[in-house]
């Protein structure tokens, strides 16, 4: 199978427009202040910010911000708008499965843009990477992330994250080592280099049951990253078993596991590390655990499709490639949106 070429968005520049959109769950009125704080964070990074029309407090359909077709329509408008240079999801939820077949893939290939988010949004990263090669910006959501978890961090940590995210979106040079933390643990030592692929583990498992599944060849030599929130420890074990039966665990070169949140049954034995090593068996795969991405927040960015170097013994993870590309001469000469 011929590998799909990695599709990098062009690098953002100061003053570019970033749109916060409801790509899944609704905006509860109680979290409007968090959304406002998220806008402030993005503006401090140097971007203009706009809220998409569906992002209205109290607007909802069942568990979603709107009907899936409405969400897809709004996303497609943003993908086709040349003024919009990046899209960040307001929150996660349970809606992305409802509009995977409605996304304007041609608009993405014509003008790829960063789409930021995790949780349900990790499904978009996986599917769009599978279909177009688009780099998926598995990173903090706007409202619970930039406007929530970030605000509980120290001022120094907030500034570190702002610099990291701004660099990810604007620099055409590799970031290098992500800032490690005291929670990082060596679950199985070793080194690996490969393409980052991952997200919420239930989305990784479920997407493989659809026509938008990643071909197994995409996992050859990859570094699989995953996290989970809620449910039972037995569910995590089961999802890992699904990945084993699918042949994914036989193809990857390394694994990075996020900090679990609200998973019942991890307060004694088994631990998450025990579950992972139980399923991996004798596979010689380095595993780095309890890394800060996912629902435990704040998130270190994990760009899907970008090559990384993992050293589980030294507890390090480095981005070897940029997530964005330089502007072309034609793009520099194009009039502003």
Can you give the three-state secondary structure of 103-152, one letter per residue?
Answer: CCHHHHHHCCCCEEECCCHHHHHHHHHHHHCECEEECCCHHHHHHHHHHH
At 2 the pLDDT is 43
157, containing H or E segment: helix 155-170
Q: Is beta strand 136-138 parallel, antiparallel or unpaired with respect to 302-304?
A: antiparallel
Locate the DSSP E strands across the chain.
17-21, 48-51, 84-89, 115-117, 136-138, 176-177, 185-188, 191-200, 223-227, 254-258, 287-291, 302-304, 307-311, 316-319
Element spanning 278, H or E? helix 272-280
Q: Using alpha carbons only, what angle is made at residue 297 by residues 85 and 91, rounded to the nearest 5 degrees?
A: 50
* Three-class secondary structure of residue 176 per DSSP: strand
Residues tagged active-site: 119, 227, 295
**Where in the chain do CATH 3.50.30.60 domains reside?**
176-319
Per-residue confidence (pLDDT) for residue 336, from 0 to 100: 55
CATH class of this structure's domain 176-319: alpha beta
Sorted by sequence, the CB contacts under 8 Å of residue 83 that are 6+ apart come out as 17, 336, 337
User: 3-state DSSP call for residue 97?
Assistant: helix
Q: How far apart are CA 70 and CA 137, in angstroms?
A: 23
Q: Which CATH number fits domain 17-173: 1.10.260.40, 3.40.50.300, 3.30.420.40, 3.40.50.10740?
A: 3.40.50.10740
Beta strands, E only, 144-200: 176-177, 185-188, 191-200
> How many CB atoms sit inside 10 A of residue 189's CB?
13
pLDDT at site 332: 73
Cα 248 to Cα 48, 204, 243, 293: the distances in Å are 40, 10, 5, 21
Distance (Å, whole) CA 127 – CA 130:
5
Q: Cα–Cα distance between 251 and 247 in angstroms, integer?
A: 7
The boundaries of every CATH 3.40.50.10740 domain in the chain are 17-173
pLDDT digits (tens), the chain, 337 positions: 345 689 999 999 999 999 999 999 999 999 999 999 999 999 999 999 999 999 998 888 999 999 999 999 999 999 999 999 999 999 999 999 999 999 999 999 999 999 999 999 999 999 999 999 999 999 999 999 999 999 999 999 999 999 999 999 999 999 999 999 999 999 999 999 999 999 999 999 999 999 999 999 999 999 999 999 988 999 999 999 999 999 999 999 999 999 999 898 887 779 999 999 999 999 999 999 999 999 988 999 999 999 999 999 999 999 999 999 998 877 777 665 5
Predicted confidence at residue 335, as pLDDT, reads: 60
Q: Which of 96, 46, 102, 58 is nearest to 77 (CA)?
A: 102
Task: With beta carbons less than 8 A apart as the criterion, state whether 22 and 71 touch.
Answer: yes
């Amino acid at each position: 199978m011929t590998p799909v070429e990695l599709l990098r968005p062009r690098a953002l520049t100061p003053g570019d427009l970033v749109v916060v959109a409801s790509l899944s769950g609704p905006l509860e009125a109680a979290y409007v202040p968090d959304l406002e704080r998220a806008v402030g964070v993005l503006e401090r990074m140097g971007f203009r910010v706009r809220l998409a029309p569906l992002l209205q407090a109290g607007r909802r359909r069942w568990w979603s911000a709107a009907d899936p077709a409405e969400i897809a329509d709004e996303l497609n408008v943003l993908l086709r708008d040349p003024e919009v240079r990046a899209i960040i999801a307001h929150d996660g939820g349970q809606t992305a499965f409802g509009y995977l077949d409605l996304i304007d893939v041609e608009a993405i290939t014509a003008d790829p843009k960063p789409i930021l988010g995790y949780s349900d949004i990790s499904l978009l990263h996986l599917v769009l990477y599978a279909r177009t090669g688009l780099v998926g910006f598995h990173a903090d959501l706007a409202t619970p992330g930039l406007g929530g978890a970030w605000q509980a961090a120290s001022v120094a940590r907030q500034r570190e994250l702002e610099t990291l995210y701004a660099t990810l979106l604007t620099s055409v040079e590799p970031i290098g080592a992500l800032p490690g933390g005291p929670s990082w643990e060596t679950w199985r030592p070793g080194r690996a280099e490969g393409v980052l692929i991952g997200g919420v583990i239930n989305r990784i498992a479920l997407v493989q049951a659809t026509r938008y599944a990643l071909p197994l060849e995409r996992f050859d030599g990859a570094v699989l990253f995953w996290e989970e929130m809620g449910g039972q420890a037995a569910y995590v074990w089961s999802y890992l078993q699904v990945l084993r039966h699918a042949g994914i665990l036989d193809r990857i070169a390394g694994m990075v596991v996020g900090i679990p949140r609200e998973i019942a049954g991890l307060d004694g034995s088994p631990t998450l590390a025990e579950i992972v090593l139980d399923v991996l068996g004798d596979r010689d795969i380095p595993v780095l655990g309890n890394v800060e991405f996912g629902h435990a927040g704040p998130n270190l960015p994990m760009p899907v499709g970008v090559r990384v170097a993992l050293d589980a013994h030294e507890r390090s993870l480095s981005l070897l490639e940029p997530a964005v590309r330089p502007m072309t001469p034609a793009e520099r000469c194009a009039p502003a949106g």
